[in-house]
Amino acid sequence: MLKGKHIILGISGGIAAYKSASLLRLFIKAGAEVQVVMTPSGKEFITPVTLSALSGKPVVSEFFTANTGEWHSHVDLGLWADAMVIAPATASTIAKMANGVADNMLITTYLSAKAPVFVAPAMDLDMFAHPTTTRNLNLLRSYGNTIIEPASGELASHLVGKGRMEEPENIFKVLDDFFSRRDELKGKNLLVTAGPTYEKIDPVRFIGNYSTGKMGYAIADEAASRGAEVVIVSGPVDIAPSHPSVKVVKVESAREMLAACEEEFPSVDCAVMCAAVADYAPAECAESKIKREDSEPPVIHLVKNPDIAKALGQKKRDGQKLIGFALETDHEFDNAMKKLRSKNLDMIVLNSLRDKGAGFGTDTNKITIFTADGKETAFALKSKREVAADIIDSIINL
């Protein structure tokens, strides 16, 4: 998939820079054109001669060629690229990218690049674990950049931990997958519900649950990265999509979520119901704060909330796909199949709370997918982004 693609390979000053030569070779062997851009300290770790010989192009590192005064246009480079990969990305380069500190050619090129950006951090474990690195990586994610997580293992310091740049073969695979998948859902519209719902008791209290929205947002990002137009109807959460084209409609209660979904559903090809919708809501929301009194505690009468998935299942037209989730603690299979049928779903994603690492608040999930035609596929424990990719693959198979 990389044949003919224009790739900028940014190399900053870390020990892992020696691996960049292997990465470059993989890109060249796959038929890509690669322009290497190095930071000044990158050149201390690997010579430009090696990289220009492998890429067949002079390495760019300075704003000007000193003896001729020729200007190296980071703007042109940024427009030329189909993708930019920064590997290794040191803590300092990540900080400069996150904050626009444009004091070298790699950062000016990054700021000018219109193409997707992939960042492969490499640093010592304590530097990687430092809150400033976490914050800067989150900033890069919020700009839509893809972070290729470092691996755990022995580091240059001989300490063992997370911070070792991902192997060139795996970085190559991320890029190859990106180009082979990015148009898979082009022209398709997706609705994803995510997060909890809050059902008001009074102006300061609500009934809610522990859902963080991570799974739904990961599904939305994955679908958008494959070319879909995505809207998330989201309950109250602290996260944002990392893909810039994902639209978010914020709601609070189940009723508001239903209204937003009913508005979006007619124009989508597929809806993925990932929200943890509260099953019940207080029959009435007190107008003022309920006061603690010495008398008996108040009794809150609950009424049933609408079943959003079921409501959409009843309106589903030919060709539209409806995907549900089931979070179960026991009788998992029977409960999941019952939900699939009663809500008129085409596919249901089961997570069992008996599996360690599955469910609310974790960064991982372990799922089994059942389709309406009786197929069952169990997956291993994976990151929520990888789980999202499996779910999107299964939807495409539908």
Query: Which residues participate in catalysis according to the annotation?
Result: 209
Q: Given the complex with ligand CTP, which of 91 and 309 has the nearer CB atom?
A: 309
The answer to the question of residue 262 lying near ligand CTP (CB under 6 A) is no
Please, what's the largest Cα pairwise distance for the chain?
88
CB of 256 to ligand CTP, least distance (A): 12
3-state secondary structure of 7: strand
CA distance 327 to 331: 11
Site size for ligand CTP (CB under 6 A):
15
Min separation Cβ 329 and ligand CTP, Å = 9
**Minimum gap (Å) between residue 305 Cβ and ligand CTP:** 5
Site membership for ligand CTP, residue 385 (CB under 6 A): no
DSSP calls for 306-359: P-HHHHHHHHPPTT-EEEEEEEESSSHHHHHHHHHHHTT-SEEEEEETTSTT-S
- DSSP class of residue 155 equals -
Coil, helix or strand for 161?
strand
- State which of residues 308, 322, 347, 358 lies at the interface with ligand CTP (CB under 6 A): 308
The least CB distance from residue 377 to ligand CTP, in Å, is: 18
Contact flag: residue 324 with ligand CTP (CB under 6 A): yes
Question: To the nearest whole angstrom, how small is the minimum distance from the Cβ of residue 307 to ligand CTP?
Answer: 4
Cβ(216)–Cβ(240) below 8 Å: no
Q: Is 273 in the site for ligand CTP (CB under 6 A)?
A: yes
Q: How many CB atoms sit inside 10 A of residue 292's CB?
A: 8
Q: Which residues of 85-95 are buried (b: 16+ CB within 10 A; e: fewer)?
A: bbbbbbbbbbb
Site for ligand CTP in 221-260 (CB under 6 A): 254
Q: Of 33, 307, 346, 390, which lies in the binding site for ligand CTP, with binding defined by CB under 6 A?
A: 307
Question: What is the nearest approach in angstroms of ligand CTP to the Cβ of residue 225?
Answer: 22
**Nearest in space to 244 (alpha carbons), one of 140, 162, 314:** 140
- CA torsion, ordered 244, 246, 251, 256, to nearest 10 deg: 160
Stretch that binds ligand CTP, among 25-33, 92-100, 152-160, 319-327 (CB under 6 A): 319-327
Binding flag, residue 207, ligand CTP (CB under 6 A): no
93 in Cβ contact with 104 (< 8 Å): no
339 binds ligand CTP (CB under 6 A): yes
For position 279 contacting ligand CTP by CB under 6 A, the verdict is yes
Site stretch for ligand CTP (CB under 6 A), options 86-94, 158-166, 320-328, 378-386: 320-328
Contact window for ligand CTP (CB under 6 A) among 113-121, 226-234, 236-244, 305-313:
305-313
- 3-state secondary structure at position 62: coil
Residues found near ligand CTP in the complex (CB under 6 A): 193, 254, 273, 275, 277, 279, 305, 307-309, 324-327, 339
